Amino acid sequence: MAAEGFRGPKQLWNAFQWSMKGFRAAWRHEASFRLEACLVIVLVPLGLWLGDGGLEKFALILAPLLVLSAELLNSAVEAVVDKVSPEFHELAGRAKDMGSAAVFVLLILVVLSWALILGPRLLG
C-alpha cells in the first residue's frame, strides 16, 4: 500500500514535464528571461572555472541561478496579474513592480558576489 502523498516515478515525470513547459513558455514569451538565461549560460561555466574551491564556485553560480528563478516567479506574477486585472490598477502595478525589484536585487547580488570574489585577484 502506497504511503499518503507518495510521489512515484509517474508523478515525478509529470512534474518534470510541467517544469519544462514553464521554461519553454518563459523562453518564448519573456525577453528578460531569455537575456538572463544567456547570462546563466555564460556565468555558470565561468564561475566553475574561476572559483577557487567549492564555496567560491557555489557563490559564483548561485547568484545567476537565483536571478533566473526570480525572473520565472516574476513572470508568473505578471501573467496572473494580467489575467485577473487586464486594466490598470494601482495594486496590480505595484505587484509587477515589486517582482521586477526582486529580480533587480538579485542582479545586484551577482555583481557584488563576482566583484568581491574575483575583484581582489584581478586588481592585484
Please list, in sequence order, all residues whose beta carbon lies within 8 angstroms of the beta carbon of residue 59, skipping any fewer than 6 positions away: 47, 51, 113, 117
Distance (Å, rounded) from C-alpha 5 to C-alpha 37?
A: 33
Catalytic residue list contains 71: yes
Q: And the C-alpha cell for 14?
A: 509529470
Contact between residue 29 and residue 71 where contact means Cβ atoms under 8 Å apart: no
The single residue of 4, 71, 78, 90 carrying the catalytic annotation is 71
Q: And the C-alpha cell for 8?
A: 512515484
| Nearest alpha-carbon partner for 80 in 95, 98, 97, 100 | 95
Task: Write out the catalytic residue numbers.
Answer: 71
